[in-house]
Each structure stands twice: as C-alpha cells, then as structure tokens.
Structure 1
Amino acid sequence: MYRFLLLLSGVVFCSTSVIIIRSSSLEPSLVATYRLIFAVALLSPMFFLSWKKHRNWARPKVFLRCIPPALLLAIHFISWAWGARMTYIANASLIINLTPAVMPFLAYFLIREQVTRREIAGTAVAMTGVALMAWNAFSIDPSYLWGNIVCFGSMITFAAYLAFARINKDFPSIWLYIVPINALAAIICLIYSFFALESISIDSWEEAGWMLAMAVLPTILGHVTLNRSLRYFTAQTFAVVNLHQFVSAGIMGWLIFSDVPPNIFFLAAALCIGGAVIVIRETARIRKANSA
C-alpha cells in the first residue's frame, strides 16, 4: 500500500506541470532548462551524500548509462512545454495519458518485460475512461494539429525515459540516477536555448517563482517519485496509474480555478481507478507468486 501511495503521489505532483507551464510566459526550452537547473541545485546535496556512501560503485563509467534517459528527458520537457501551449489543455493531458498504449511495446523491446492478460484487461478498462474524455474533449481543429503531434511525440519520449528507469533499477540510490540525468538534460536544454533564443535570462521574479515551482512539484516530487516507484512496479502498472494525471489535474482545476469538469469526467475517472486496481492487484499476485 505504501508503494502504491508513493506512486500515486508522484502522479499527482506531475499533473501540476501543465498548469504551471500555462501560467508561465517563458520559452519552452527555457522552462525545461530552468526547472532542471533548479532541481539539480536542490538535489545536489543528496547526490553527494549518496556518492560518498557508494563511492566504490559510483564510477564514471556507470554514469554513461544516464546519457540516453537524459537525452529523452530533455526532448520530453522541451516538446511538452511547446506542445502544451499549441493545443487545448484537454488535448495535451489526453495525449500524454496515452502512455499505456505504447508502454507494452517499449517494455518488451527494451527490457523484455511481458504483459499479462489481467494487466491488458486493466489497461483496457482504464483506457476506456481516457476514450470517454477523448470523445468529450479532444479537438481535431486543424489549427491545433501541430500541437497535438508535438504532444504525441513528447509522450513517446516520456514513455521511453520511464522504461530506462526499469533498466537502471540496479542503481544503489535513486539520487545517483536521477541527479546526473537532470544535470545532463539541463546542459542539453541550455545549449539548445543558447543557440535557438536571443536571450536565456529570466526577466522577472514571478517567472523565477514559476520555475522554482516547476522544479519542486512536477520535477522533484513528481519525477523523482515516479522513477523510484518504477523500481517496484512493472512498466505497464506504472503507465496505467499514471493515467490519473488528468484526474488530479481536473480536480485541481476545479478547486483552484472553479473550472467545473463535465459529468463524463467522473465516469472516466472511475474507469481509470478501476483499471488501475485490476493492474495493481495483478502486480501484487505476481510478486507474491515469485516470492513463494
């Protein structure tokens, strides 16, 4: 139960991302750059403490394994901030929640992780909820086409980035894994911003506050928690639970902005929760059988 609550909390914190992105006026690559720089600055003490503890293990060669997920994370952050501003929030949230549709393929080809029939059934129930939201909210307005395409590509890179967390679950500390990834991704985003933009500065304290919020909420409390959870849950279980981002985002929009969700939202949320329960119970059954 503790591990499930940990995973669910990570989903909730990640769901704040789209709200903060739409509140900021910084260029997408700068949003990605500064959220990562602030996150690395805040987490660096944890990294050095872990490095000191596992010094014999933490050799330079080991950290080469952080390069692929760092590249994927940088692309995801830039494309997500870009795409979220080019389409409706409903569209962006919906597309990023299509992760379970591609995760079985990534999990199989990257880590040879099989998906059981019950996991498929739970995924189908949860995806039905997403389909209902799609029927109600998804826009096929041609003016939003590129935004939808960018969000879809961002979803693919996010799923691949998460799959690497399963590959690298042997890291003795989550800080030895996540901090180098964030640092490398920050460097990639900074280099891109330097050549692509006229200025890479933050022009107000308000924007600095939004970037600090991006670093603390979706990046540290969100992504760190999700990466840690992937040490215990299968990639498919994680992907189904991650569907609840649109549920928590909808509830926060309701409470903070008085943006009342449509009635179909509650049915979709119930289906997502039901699908997650099926998948999580299957995961618990498999874990129990393997330990017997």
Structure 2
Amino acid sequence: MNIVRLGLSFSLEQMFQVLYFHPKSILIPLSERPSFPPRLALAISIVAVSTASVLIRMSDTGPLAIAAYRLTFSTLILLPYFVWSGGITKLRKLNKRELLTLAGVGIVLALHFASWITSLGLTSVASSVIFVHIDPIFVAAVSHFFLGERINRGTLAGIAVAFAGAALIAYGDAGAGQANLYGDLLALVGAIMLGLYILAGRRLRQSLDLVTYVTPVYAVSAVTLIAGGLASGTPMGPFPMKEYALFLAIAVVPMIFGHTVYNWTLRYLKASLVSISLLGEPVGATILAYVFLNEVPSSLTLIGGTVTLVGIYICMRNTPSS
C-alpha cells in the first residue's frame, strides 16, 4: 500500500514534470523529509523500468503495434495536463523551423521504439537492453564531431571499453544464429535513434516546458508508428483485452512507477547515485527475463554486458553535464 501511495503522492504538475527520463528534468529542494525510504524507492523504480522489455515480450502482437499503442497511451496520459497548462497556445508561438524540428524528433523517437522493440523478438532481452543503453556513447561522439564539444580521455576510454563489450556480445550472438545478430543490430540502431532524439531536442527543451515538448513529440511518434504499421500490413487491432492491458502496462509501469519514482528520489539522494543507478536497468531486465521468460543469457553476453556497462559508466562519469 505504501508504494501505491508513493506513486500517487506527487502533485499533478510534479508528476508530469518527471515523466521525461532525464534525471535533471526537475530541480527539487533536498530539505523535505521523505515519506518513503528513498533507497528502497530507487530500487523499486529500477525494477519498474526493467519490466518494459519483459512486458513487451509477453505481447503476441507485432512490434510496430506495441510501439504505436505505447506512445498512444503515453500521449493520452499527458494530453489533459498539456491542454490545461496552455500547451496549444505555447506551440502556436513556435516558428515553422521549430515545429518541423518537433515533428522530426517525434519521427526519430518512433524509429527508436520500432527498432528496439523489433530487436526484442530476435535476440535475448539481455543483449537488446544492453545494446540500446549505449546511447550515451553516441551522444558523446556526435556532440564531439558535429557540435564541437570537447571529449576528454576518460570519455574516450569509456567509449572504447563499451564497444569492446558490445563486440563480445555480438560475437557470442553470431554463433547463436543470424537472427540474434540482426536483433543486436536493431537494438544498436535504437540506441543511435535515442541519442539523436536527445540531441535534436536540446534546443527546443531550452524554450519549452517538459509537457509542452513531449506531448506533441509522443503524438507525432504514435502517428508515425500507426502509419508505418498500416503501410507494412501489420495488424493494428482489434486485439484481445489482454493485449490492451499489456499496452497500458507498458506505458504506465515503466513511466509512473519507474521514471516518476526514480526522479522523486532526487529529492533525497545524490544525483550522481540516481543517474548511475540507471545502469541497473539492463541487469534488472535480464533477471526478470530469467524469472518470467526462462531466458538464460550466454556467458559471452554476461561478460560482454558487464564490460559494456562499465564502459558506459566511465563515459557518463567523464562527460560533463550540459
């Protein structure tokens, strides 16, 4: 009962502020006394975020349909607050270039979900989730080569270590069949798209509040995925009620009890601890896949995954926050 109260204890504005995954999306004073043990809440949030891949695997529908419904439900959850907070008026103040950028970000996010969710049907949960978490590496690399941001030796070392680990995973999956390797590649594409999503939205996020930014992005992403599904002949419904329940769970559990509670812990825990704890998601997803899907990762996946996460950790620790 306490964790339910925790998930509902935010004001309406705070709840929607923290739906975005970036830990610096809100600034909260550290002086308040916690109503729930923060470290326990952090652990619960990581478990909740880790459920996404397992919930997706439990669905019998196609990846484009899963992605489309996830973004559709996410949009519907955000829409009331978007309208109430004057989001439509704020969007009207954007120029044509900014609106096109907003639409482009939505398309990139659609490509991220389409590629990553597709990868979950081809390779192991462990491999897919580890590869899709390489996005900080691409953000650091693109920021250096295309945006002129400096990259230090520590970050370079982290990139090298992460890719060495990824190579080990790919080598092991190649022996398991071509489909596994293709799934790894799609998860890697998902990481690249996520990195582009973060980079492309930087400037707009400076001028728009969180909900005004993500609601149209999610909406464009949902429409893109629906159009892609229809164009490719993917069944988009109607589905059994079990599928709709899974779609809603995929949108709500990782978002509300995952990212929302995760950000709530920033009131009481150091940002560095909370940020690095996100590396627990691939570990949590792998454990949940073992428990609920009876999926045992290979030795090379475990070794390569550990090396990759160490590399990402090194990169995150050495990349200055912008």
Q: Displacement, 1:258?
A: 7.2
Match of 1:230?
A: none
Deviates more, 1:211-220 or 1:75-84: 211-220
1:86 alignment partner, SS class:
coil
Whole-Å Cα distance in 1 between the matches of residues 257 and 73 of structure 2? 13
Residue identity (%): 25
Task: Output the aligned Cα RMSD.
Answer: 4.2
Aligned match for 1:186, one of 222, 247, 261:
222
The residue correspondences of 1:108-257 to structure 2 (distance < 5 A) are 108-124=144-160, 139=175, 141-197=177-233, 199-218=235-254, 243-253=279-289
The letter of the residue matching 2:68 is: T
For the residues of structure 1 that align with 2:112 and 2:254, how far apart are their CA atoms? 13
Corresponding pairs, count? 274
Q: How far is 1:278 from its partner?
A: 5.1
1: CA distance, partners of 2:92 / 2:48: 29
- TM-score, normalised via structure 1 length: 0.72
Query: Is the contact made by 1:74 and 1:186 (CA closer than 8 Å) also made in structure 2?
Result: yes
Amino acid paired to 1:96: V
Whether the aligned pair in 2 keeps the contact of 1:66 and 1:180 (CA below 8 Å) is yes
Gaps of 5+ in 1: 228-232
8 A contact 2:45–2:258 mirrored in 1: yes
Q: How does 1:60-139 map to 2 (within 5 A)?
A: 60-61=94-95, 62-124=98-160, 139=175
1:35 and 2:67 matched: no
Indicate yes or no: 2:42 matched with 1:20: no
Partners in 1 of 2:214 and 2:262 — Cα distance? 11
Instruction: Flag the 1:107–1:96 CA change in 2: closer, same or farther, 3 A.
Output: same
Matches of 1:73 and 1:117 in 2, distance apart? 30
**Tell me, which stretches of 5 or more residues in structure 2 are unaligned?**
1-22, 26-38, 264-270
Q: Is the counterpart of residue 45 in structure 1 residue 80 in structure 2?
A: yes
1:187, distance to aligned residue in structure 2 (A): 1.0
| 1:124-143 deviation per Cα after TM superposition (whole angstroms, max 9, x unaligned) | 55666656666766755224
**Shift in CA distance, 135/106, structure 1 to aligned 2, threshold 3 Å:** same
CA contact (8 A) 1:126 1:243 kept: no
| Cα deviation code 1:56-75 (max 9, x no counterpart) | 67624343331121111111
CA–CA separation in structure 2 for the residues paired with 1:255 and 1:176: 39
Task: Please state how far the C-alpha of 1:220 moved relative to its aligned partner.
Answer: 6.3
Q: Is it true that 1:59 corresponds to 2:93 in the alignment? A: yes
Residues of 2 paired with 1:141 and 1:122: CA distance? 29
- CA displacement, residues 27-47 of structure 1 (integer Å, 9 cap, x when unaligned): 111111111111111111222
